[in-house]
Structure 1
């Protein structure tokens, strides 16, 4: 009689309630620790140099906080002072005017040049480098050069006399011309960054889709409107948001070109913060003005992010 081999199957091991499920949890924990190590320096820097100063500025804005002397709690009196200060209202208007002029012109010029260079023409890379040079050049050096151009007897004034026999406007000494002069200098300084962003986005547009649209009879503007534009809207949104944020923080250009003048016609919010803090030594009022600027930037950025759902296409 033969023997019958029977295989005994062990019952599945019962997992005690509350124990972690089997799987790649140890690997995830190791990845989490590694991510924490790499992110740690950035998080610490953000906390020390951004979050903590921002919170401190909010606290200081509630005090009469001279650099030297007794500090007194004022509550919201500093904000009330800003609300009724005609100089601060003019400063907010100046900053808004700069943003309204600078942002659209920067984006239009950047996008226009990027579209012009989007075909793979000869010397394309050289143009990219040339347009980006002002961004890499120190701001103070650029402003000083433009100051020499704008001042009476400068290159623009001399050129106007040679060509037309008249003097150029006193760009930096006129309340009507000073802000446009600052905007022109700022566009020259900053358009190269957005130009590279748009140029990289245009390089990602599939040529096959453009060729298909051309075969279907779409013209140049129709191809840009219905094929290119939807594909580059994420880059346009990024450039618009970043340009808005930086334009509200404009400081070096009016500070060096006009010192905020004539009068206060080109003084910006950041210049007002600087003057209150370091000239008049009123840190409480300077912090309050800084927080007003912070709220303005955050509000406009929030509107941008909410509004992007209507025109930004991420899945094209």
Structure 2
């Protein structure tokens, strides 16, 4: 009998101990949720909520003034079958991305290698070269760029001095997009700093050993710098590709999508549909197609990364 009573008492103590641990863990969890609640509320209210609303609106005819009218897949069907400007925006954006991203990354890596030194004053130059990335997306810079490449701009003054033909670059269908690509390439500061951090993480012993073996600087760059820097290149490639598809300010402020839709970025077309034509349902469908396009290109980059990205911890690709 006494043995049964002792066993029962022991089970009660274990039960109380387990309940106490559960209460303690619950208090810890509640404190954790309390600390992250500002971010959680913002995430649900300003990201998840609008995304779900946009997904619903993409299946409706909605003009912001009246109640949305459910039309199913009509927006998407019309987009792919009857909207020539949609395909024009796709083509322009693809040309912009494939033209600006490689040039921007190549120039950023070139400058980062120049600044990968401990010489006096190099910190000041790094800061100066980073400034365009801070200011490049501003309205003021867009206006200045428009003036520089306008008919009476400084670029034409230089061409005239050299005896070369002049034109209004931002109003020429053949050169307007190139002008915007040049502006984006000029904003190379952010990837430059990331490349610089990656370059500093490469062991100098690798270059010393390669020099002893007689490797030229070009061979060292191809066989040491590029493989060791490939994870950083991969990160910059993904981020800059996504930014390229989302580009808006350059086209909207400098060329307004013209001339002849030659700079009609996808984001600018989406903006026109939403806030110029008040076709929010169609604009929401455009937004989800943009998300899908970004997802496809990002997945493709991740897929191909296995063949060219080197991770030292994995002993190779």
1:126–1:25 CA distance, 2 compared to 1 (3 A): farther
Give how far 1:311 is off.
1.8
- Spell out, residue by residue over 1:119-174, the C-alpha distance to the aligned partner (whole angstroms, 9 max, x if none): 3333321221011011122521111111110110111112211221x442321111
Question: Any unmatched runs of 5+ in structure 2?
Answer: 1-9
1:244 is aligned to 2:241: yes
Distance in 1, Cα, partners of 2:90 & 2:303: 24
Query: Relative to 1, partners in 2 of residues 1:34 and 1:237: Cα closer, same or farther, differing over 3 Å?
Result: farther
Measure, in 2, the Cα distance between the counterparts of 1:209 and 1:27: 52
Note if 1:156 corresponds to 2:137: no
Seen in structure 2, the aligned counterparts of structure 1 residues 211 and 46 have a Cα distance that, compared at 3 Å, is: same
Give the whole-Å Cα distance in 2 for the aligned partners of 1:207 and 1:27.
51
The structure 1 residue matched to 2:295, chosen from 272, 278, 298, is: 298
Aligned-partner Cα distance in 2 for 1:240–1:34: 39
Corresponding position of 1:172:
170
Cα 1:33/1:70, change in 2 over 3 Å: closer
Match of 1:146 in 2: 145
User: C-alpha offsets along residues 163-219 of structure 1, whole Å, 9 cap, x if unaligned?
Assistant: 21x44232111110000001101111x211000000111011111222122112222
1:230 Cα deviation after fit: 2.1
CA RMSD in angstroms comes to 2.5
User: Please, which of 72, 77, 86 is the counterpart of residue 75 of structure 1?
Assistant: 72
Normalised by the size of structure 1, how large is the TM-score?
A: 0.87
| Match for residue 96 of structure 2 among 79, 95, 98 | 98
- How far did 1:67 drift? 1.6
Shift of 1:233: 1.3
**Does structure 2 retain, via aligned residues, the 8 Å contact 1:158–1:167?**
no
The alpha-carbon deviation at position 41 of structure 1 amounts to 2.6
CA offset at residue 87 of structure 1?
A: 0.9
Aligned pairs (5 A) from 1:1-316 = 35-84=32-81, 85-137=83-135, 139-164=138-163, 166-188=164-186, 190-315=187-312
**Structure 2 counterpart SS, 1:83:** helix
Query: d(CA) in 2 for partners of 1:172 and 1:185?
Result: 12
